[in-house]
C-alpha cells in the first residue's frame, strides 16, 4: 500500500514542539509519527499528538459560525458573522478599551500572534500575566538577568540530575527520554515532588516534599554548603548581593528549614551531596513549583542552590525552566500595534478585573486560543461576569465551558489545517507547520478571520499578508534560513550558545548574579480545610483540549493511603471535594508516593459535564510575574 509522508509540526502548547510526519494511506487511514530526522523529536511523540486526529475529526467539532438565538444556536455564514463583529466593534470604537481581547496559548505559532497586532491597533484592553509559568519566568530574570538555559542535549553530560517537581512522562516525553539516557550513562537522578508524578522509573532517589516549600529544602542544602565551607570565591565574586543572602540563610536554623518542608536532614544532605560531589549536576524545574503564592521565591532558591554549588555556566549543569517559545523569531510585525496607553487586566484575577473595570467598563470580549472559564480560578464568578457582557465572541472548535457563554462562536482551523511556524519553550529548533488536510465545513484560520474582519471596519485595520509575517519572523539574528528553505526541510536550529552564562557572566547590567533577598514563611491550612489541592497535568490532553466522551464523571482524585482525611470518609458512598467556593462530586483513589496532606486532581475536564476543578480554587497572585497561585488552595473531603 502506497504511503505519502508529509513533514509538518505540532502546534499544541507543549515544550517538545515536535516535528511530525503525517502519512495518508490509500484506504483513508492516517498515521502521525515523530520525525526521525529531527534531533529532539527522534521519531516518537506523546499521547496528546496520537489522540489529536480523533479530536480533529470529532462530530462534536464546530465547523460553521454560530449565533446565539435565545437558548439555542443559529448557524450563519461568514459574511453575516463578520458583519455582526464589525458592527459591534464600530459601536464600541469611541471607547475601544471597552473591548477586551483575551488570548491564550491553545495553539502556538507565528500567525497566532496576529490578534496582538489587530487588537493593539484597535486600542482594546489586553490581559497581562499568565495561568501557567510567569512567576518562574520573572524569578529567572531576577536571578540571571534573562531567561536562558543550556542546550537540551547537554543533559546527557550531567553526572547528576535534580528534578524539582516536573512530571517528565506527562509533560515532556523527549526530556524524559534524555533523562533516561543520562541515567543509563551513569547520571544519578533525584526527584523532589509532593507526588502524583510518573518519575519513579526515571529516578534513583525520591524526596516527598510538603507542597509549596521547595525554597526551604533548597535553603537547607545551601546552608550545608555554607557549613562545609565549599562555596568557591569565584562564585561569590560573581554575585551582586552575596553578603545579604548569606545573612538571610544563616539566620534560619537548619531544624526550622527542614521542619518547614517536611524533609529529614539525611535527605537534605543527599541534595547537597548530589550538587557538590556529582558535578556537573543539572537542575530541572517544573512549572508546578511556581504555582504558589511564593512560587517565584521557590524558583529563586532552587536557582541559588545550582549557582552556589558551581553548576551554572558549565556543560552538563544549568537550570532548565521554560524558555520564551518565540525568542528565536522576529515578531516586530506583531508588536507594531502595542501602545503604552493600552489597558491591561491581570489574567489570574480576570473575573474581578473585568467586574471592576471602569472608564470604560468592559462591554465586549473576544476570546481566542483560550478557555478561561475552565482555566481561570474562580470559574463560577467568571461565568457570571461573562453573562453580563453585552457581546462576546469566542473563536473555538468545540462547545467548551467558555464557548457556552458566547454570543457568537467562530470556527477556527486546527493543527494540520493551516500553515505556520512554531518554536519551542524547551529547545532551540524552529519547525514549519505544513497544512495537511483541508479544513472541514467553514472552518477558517484565526489569521483569515482577523484579516477579513479588519477589512470590514471603517477605517479598516490592514494586517500584513500571512506570507510576509512568516518571512519576517525568520529575519532573526539567531536563524540562518529562508521561508522556502524551512518549507523544504521542515525545521532548522537557532544558533544559541550550548552553555548559558558560560564564564559566570550574567545578563544584569553589571554582569553579576542576584540571589533572593527574602525567605517567606509558608502559611498553614485554614481551619476546616486540611488538604492542599494540586491540579496537575494529564498525559493524554493539553488542558481542556479533550473530547466529551473521554471525560469520566465524577472526576477521580488521588490521595495517599496515609491521608488522615480518609479515616472520616466512607469511600463506598458519594464523596465531595469542598473548598470555601463550593463542592465537587468526586471519586477517591489512593496512590503511593503522594504526600499525606495532598489531593491530586487531573485538570482540564469540563465544568459543564461535572468536572472543572477551578470552580473550587480562589483567585490568587504569585509573588512575582503576575502568575496564578493555583496550588495555594486548601480543601476537605466529606460524604455527600
For the segment 515-564, what is each residue's pLDDT rounded down to a tens digit?
A: 999 999 999 999 999 999 999 999 999 999 999 998 999 999 999 999 99
Assign 340 a pLDDT band (cuts: 50, 70, 90).
low
Q: Minimal CA–CA distance to 444: which of 171, 63, 45?
A: 63
Please provide the average confidence, as pLDDT, over all residues in the chain.
96
- The model's pLDDT over 406-432, given as tens digits with 9 standing for 90+, comes to 999 999 999 999 999 999 999 999 999
Is the confidence at residue 328, as pLDDT, over 90? yes
Alpha helices for 309-348 (secondary structure H): 332-335
Confidence at residue 84, expressed as pLDDT on a 0 to 100 scale? 98
Q: What would the pLDDT profile of 258-291 be if each residue is shown by its tens digit?
A: 999 999 999 999 999 999 999 999 999 999 999 9
Cα gap 377→351, rounded to integer Å: 9
| CA 128 to chain CA mean position, Å | 15
pLDDT in tens, 593-606: 999 999 999 999 99
d(CA 39, CA 426) in angstroms, rounded, equals: 13
Task: State the pLDDT at residue 176.
Answer: 98
pLDDT above 50: residue 1: no
For the residues 297-324, what does the mean pLDDT come to?
A: 97
pLDDT of residue 528: 96
**DSSP class of residue 440?**
S
Tens digits of residue pLDDT in 126-136: 999 999 999 99
Residues above pLDDT 90, as percent of the chain: 96
Confidence at residue 24, expressed as pLDDT on a 0 to 100 scale:
79
Residues 6+ apart with CB under 8 A from 623: 135, 293, 294, 295, 296, 297, 520
Residue 2 has pLDDT above 60, yes or no: no
Report how far residue 278's alpha carbon sits from residue 595's, in angstroms, rounded to the nearest whole number.
Answer: 28
Residues 329 and 494: their CA atoms lie apart, in Å, by 9
Report helix, strand and coil shares of the chain as percent, to nearest 5: 35, 20, 45
Query: What average pLDDT does this structure show over 50-56?
Result: 91
The whole-number average pLDDT for the span 55-59 is 94
CA angle 389, 112, 140 (to 5 degrees): 95
- What is the mean pLDDT of the segment spanning 323-332? 95
566 CB burial (10 A radius; 0-12, 13-18, 19+): middle
Name the pTM for this structure: 0.97
Phi and psi at 252, nearest 5°, equal: -110, 130
State yes or no: pLDDT of 29 exceeds 90: no
Report the pLDDT averaged over residues 362-371: 98
Q: Which residues contact 355 (CB under 8 A, 6 or more apart)?
A: 385
Q: How confident is the model at residue 335 (pLDDT cuts 50, 70, 90)?
A: confident
**Cα(556)–Cα(574) distance, integer angstroms:** 12
Contact 544, 604 (CB under 8 A): yes
Based on the number of CB atoms within 10 Å of its own CB, is 507 exposed (0-12), middle (13-18) or buried (19 or more)?
middle
So what's the pLDDT on residue 342? 83
The set of cell numbers assigned to 424 is 519551542
What interhelical angle do 254-261 and 214-228 show, nearest 10? Answer: 150
Residue 223 has pLDDT above 60, yes or no: yes
- Find out whether 444 and 427 touch, Cβ atoms under 8 Å: no
**For 293-301, what is the mean pLDDT?**
98
Amino acid at each position: 500500500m502506497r504511503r505519502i509522508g508529509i513533514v509538518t509540526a505540532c502546534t499544541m502548547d507543549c515544550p517538545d514542539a515536535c516535528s511530525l510526519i503525517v502519512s495518508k494511506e490509500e484506504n483513508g487511514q492516517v498515521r502521525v509519527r515523530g520525525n526521525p530526522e529531527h534531533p529532539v523529536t527522534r521519531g516518537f511523540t506523546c499521547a496528546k499528538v496520537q489522540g489529536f486526529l480523533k479530536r480533529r475529526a470529532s462530530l462534536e467539532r464546530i465547523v460553521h459560525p454560530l449565533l446565539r438565538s435565545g437558548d439555542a444556536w443559529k448557524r450563519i455564514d461568514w459574511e453575516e458573522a463578520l458583519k455582526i463583529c464589525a458592527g459591534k466593534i464600530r459601536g464600541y470604537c469611541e471607547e475601544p478599551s471597552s473591548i477586551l481581547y483575551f488570548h491564550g496559548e491553545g495553539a502556538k505559532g507565528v500567525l497566532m500572534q496576529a490578534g496582538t497586532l489587530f487588537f493593539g491597533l484597535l486600542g482594546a484592553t489586553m490581559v497581562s500575566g499568565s495561568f501557567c509559568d510567569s512567576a518562574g519566568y520573572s524569578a529567572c530574570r531576577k536571578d540571571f538577568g534573562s531567561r536562558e538555559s543550556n542546550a537540551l542535549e547537554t543533559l546527557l553530560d550531567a553526572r547528576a540530575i535534580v528534578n524539582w517537581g516536573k512530571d517528565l512522562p506527562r509533560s515532556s516525553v523527549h526530556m524524559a527520554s534524555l533523562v533516561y539516557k543520562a541515567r543509563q550513562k551513569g547520571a544519578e537522578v533525584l526527584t523532589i515532588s509532593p507526588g502524583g508524578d510518573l518519575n519513579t522509573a526515571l529516578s534513583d532517589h525520591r524526596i516527598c516534599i510538603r507542597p509549596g516549600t521547595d525554597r526551604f529544602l533548597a535553603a537547607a542544602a545551601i546552608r550545608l554548603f555554607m557549613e562545609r565551607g565549599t562555596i568557591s570565591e569565584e562564585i561569590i565574586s560573581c554575585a551582586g548581593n552575596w553578603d545579604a543572602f548569606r545573612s538571610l540563610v544563616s539566620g534560619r536554623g537548619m531544624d526550622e528549614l527542614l521542619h518547614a518542608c517536611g524533609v529529614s536532614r539525611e535527605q537534605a544532605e543527599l541534595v547537597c551531596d548530589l550538587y557538590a560531589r556529582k558535578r556537573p549536576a543539572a537542575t530541572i524545574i517544573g512549572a508546578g513549583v511556581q504555582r504558589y503564592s511564593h512560587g517565584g521565591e521557590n524558583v529563586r532558591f532552587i536557582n541559588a542552590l545550582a549557582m552556589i554549588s558551581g553548576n551554572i555556566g558549565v556543560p552538563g549543569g544549568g537550570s532548565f525552566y521554560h524558555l520564551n517559545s518565540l525568542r528565536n523569531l522576529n515578531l516586530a510585525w506583531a508588536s507594531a500595534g502595542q501602545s503604552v496607553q493600552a489597558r491591561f487586566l491581570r489574567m489570574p484575577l480576570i473575573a474581578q478585573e473585568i467586574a471592576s473595570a471602569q472608564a470604560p467598563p468592559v462591554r465586549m470580549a473576544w476570546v481566542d486560543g483560550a478557555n478561561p472559564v475552565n482555566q481561570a480560578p474562580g470559574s463560577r464568578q467568571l461565568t457570571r461576569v461573562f453573562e453580563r457582557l453585552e457581546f462576546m465572541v469566542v473563536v473555538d472548535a468545540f462547545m467548551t465551558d467558555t464557548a457556552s457563554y458566547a454570543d457568537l462562536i467562530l470556527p477556527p482551523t486546527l493543527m494540520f489545517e493551516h500553515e505556520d511556524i512554531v518554536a519551542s519553550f524547551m529547545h532551540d529548533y524552529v519547525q514549519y507547520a505544513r497544512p495537511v488536510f483541508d479544513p472541514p465545513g467553514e472552518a477558517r484560520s484565526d489569521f483569515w478571520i482577523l484579516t477579513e474582519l479588519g477589512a470590514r471596519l471603517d477605517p479598516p485595520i490592514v494586517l500584513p499578508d500571512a506570507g510576509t509575517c512568516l518571512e519576517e519572523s525568520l529575519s532573526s539574528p539567531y536563524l540562518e534560513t529562508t521561508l522556502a528553505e524551512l518549507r523544504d526541510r521542515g525545521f532548522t536550529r537557532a544558533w544559541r550558545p550550548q552553555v548559558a552564562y558560560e564564564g559566570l557572566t550574567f545578563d544584569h547590567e553589571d554582569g553579576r548574579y542576584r540571589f533572593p533577598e527574602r525567605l517567606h514563611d509558608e502559611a498553614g491550612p485554614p481551619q476546616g480545610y486540611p488538604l492542599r489541592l494540586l491540579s496537575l497535568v494529564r498525559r493524554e490532553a493539553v488542558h481542556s483540549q479533550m473530547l466529551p466522551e473521554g471525560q469520566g464523571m465524577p472526576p477521580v482524585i488521588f490521595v495517599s493511603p496515609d491521608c488522615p482525611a480518609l479515616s472520616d470518609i466512607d469511600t463506598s458512598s458519594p464523596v465531595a471535594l469542598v473548598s470555601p467556593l463550593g463542592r465537587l462530586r468526586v471519586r477517591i483513589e489512593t496512590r503511593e508516593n503522594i504526600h499525606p496532606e495532598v489531593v491530586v486532581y487531573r485538570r482540564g475536564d469540563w465544568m459543564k459535564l461535572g468536572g472543572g476543578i477551578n470552580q473550587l480554587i480562589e483567585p490568587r497572585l504569585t509573588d512575582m510575574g503576575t502568575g496564578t497561585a493555583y496550588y495555594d488552595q486548601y480543601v476537605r473531603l466529606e460524604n455527600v
